[in-house]
Copies of this chain bind each other. A is one copy, B any other.
């Protein structure tokens, strides 16, 4: 409807979101580095509250399965994760935290929360608003949109 305001505003919203994403990434990298890990390795730990197949994790990351092979190789070498064969389907390897991996996961999650709150200036009284906003944004169905 030839509304000139909306696109202009949208540009500012995009800038803001990209800024938030950038700071989030910087936090992930710096928390990871503190434990001699990479941001993706921390991402893997975060997902592994419960075991997940390599295939499922590749989809979570929107990446090729062969990429996950290398990622898991490195994390397994650190003794944080095991590949556990699924008894019902021997093609599947379930990624499972070792006790060491689980301890590190708890510690790292706490640090991510603390540092991210600091990086964004998140105050406790903001939580409600942010949660409501996030809930309304992400269209809970994880539909990755442009599927031509």
Q: In whole Å, how far is A121's beta carbon from the nearest beta carbon of chain B?
A: 4
| B137 A122 Cβ-Cβ under 8 A | yes
Bound complex: CA A137 to CA B139 (Å): 22
A7, closest chain B residue (CB): B113
Tell me the interface secondary structure of chain A in the complex. Answer: helix
Q: Is A78 located at the chain interface by the 8 A CB criterion?
A: no
Q: In whole Å, how far is A2's beta carbon from the nearest beta carbon of chain B?
A: 13
Bound complex: CA A142 to CA B146 (Å): 33
Give 25 pairs: A residue, B residue, CB < 8 Å, sorted on A: A7-B113, A9-B128, A10-B117, A10-B124, A10-B127, A11-B113, A12-B127, A13-B117, A13-B131, A17-B116, A17-B120, A17-B130, A17-B134, A18-B24, A19-B134, A20-B21, A26-B144, A115-B146, A118-B145, A119-B144, A120-B137, A121-B136, A122-B137, A126-B136, A129-B133
| A contact residues vs B (CB 8 Å cutoff) | 3, 6-7, 9-14, 16-21, 23-26, 29-30, 46, 62, 109, 112-113, 115-122, 124, 126-131, 133-139, 142, 144-146
